[in-house]
């Protein structure tokens, strides 16, 4: 028997439908939110020893919220994860309170646990270039080597997520001066394409043995299907071991490197936000902290000690 009442289950589905249709939240985000709120509602059922209908949800107290938070922490849920879960619950409650006409103060006033935000871990400029060069020599097949170089060059040269690079199709080639990318939450952005990226993709296409069509994936696996992101993760893992780079030198680190190196060169934060497709400037501002940290590292190395 489900721990969640039919009324709550229906309300949850309506809220999630609204997130997808109106807020443009991705399927992955909706799935995460569904899990978080379902877990919360199930806890409240067990906590009160009865299934919680919509009216019961209106009566949730500060004490109930503390009990849920304590239960989460006792289950080894970290501060970052708990903050995310609480954010999902609050979002659901704002919607539910507006729809049902009740005061959600007990839930909305619950404070999220404090945690230190992880800073992006970019590569140094010479390491990013070395990564592209080293990726090229990991395969004995010329076309696979050219493919891997083309993908990694797009990550670093255009700031693409690996999912965005692998979503390109034959219709996108040869690469134009700018690409229209559909990113997280179906948000669209336009990114300029450097000549190096165009050349890398051109070389891959010349060598690729699989026929290209406008509706086929641009980047292909060995058997001709869509390239699996694990292939790029794997080839970068081999390259970083050869270069002595840390485990943080992943495909996503190339995107971080793109943003950090642009900022170091004097790039405008708002422009970088647009290029990365960040919904919030605060997400992009994390790169200013990285830049400052690197500046202080250079300062501490170079400054004469007393």
Q: Which residues are catalytic?
A: 161, 184, 252, 255, 278, 287
Buried (b) or exposed (e) across 240-272, using 16+ Cβ within 10 A? beeeebeeebbbbbbbbbbbbbbbeeeeeeeeb
Is 256 within 8 Å of 121 (Cβ atoms)? Answer: yes
CA dihedral 186, 187, 192, 193 (to 10 degrees): -20
Count CB atoms within 10 A of the CB of residue 159.
24
Burial 98-135 (b: 16+ CB within 10 A, else e): eeeeeebebbeebeeeeeeeeebbbbeeebbebbbebb
């Amino acid at each position: 028997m489900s721990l969640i009442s039919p009324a709550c289950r229906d309300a949850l589905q309506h809220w999630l439908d609204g997130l997808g249709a109106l807020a443009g939240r991705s399927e992955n985000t909706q799935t995460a939110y569904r899990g978080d709120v379902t877990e919360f509602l199930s806890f409240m059922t067990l906590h009160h020893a009865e299934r919680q209908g919509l009216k019961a949800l209106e009566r949730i107290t500060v004490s109930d919220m503390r009990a849920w938070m304590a239960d989460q922490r006792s289950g080894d849920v970290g501060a970052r994860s708990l903050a995310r879960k609480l954010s999902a619950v609050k979002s659901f409650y704002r919607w539910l309170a507006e729809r049902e006409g009740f005061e959600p103060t007990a839930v909305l006033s619950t404070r999220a646990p404090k945690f230190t935000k992880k800073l992006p871990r970019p590569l140094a400029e010479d390491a990013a270039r070395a990564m592209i060069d080293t990726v090229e020599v990991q395969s004995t097949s010329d076309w696979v080597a050219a493919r891997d170089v083309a993908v990694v060059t797009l990550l670093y040269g255009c700031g693409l997520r690996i999912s965005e690079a692998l979503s390109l199709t034959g219709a996108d080639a040869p690469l134009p001066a700018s690409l229209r990318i559909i990113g997280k939450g179906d948000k669209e952005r336009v990114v300029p394409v450097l000549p190096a990226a165009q050349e890398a993709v051109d070389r891959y296409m010349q060598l690729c043995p699989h026929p290209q069509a406008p509706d086929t994936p641009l980047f292909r696996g060995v058997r001709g299907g869509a390239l699996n992101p694990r292939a790029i993760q794997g080839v970068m893992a081999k390259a970083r071991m050869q270069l002595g780079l840390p485990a943080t030198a992943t495909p996503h680190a190339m995107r971080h490197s793109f943003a950090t190196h642009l900022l170091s060169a004097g790039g405008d934060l708002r422009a970088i936000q647009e290029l990365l497709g960040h919904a919030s400037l605060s997400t992009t501002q994390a790169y200013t902290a990285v830049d400052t940290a690197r500046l202080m590292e250079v300062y501490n190395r170079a400054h004469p000690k007393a």
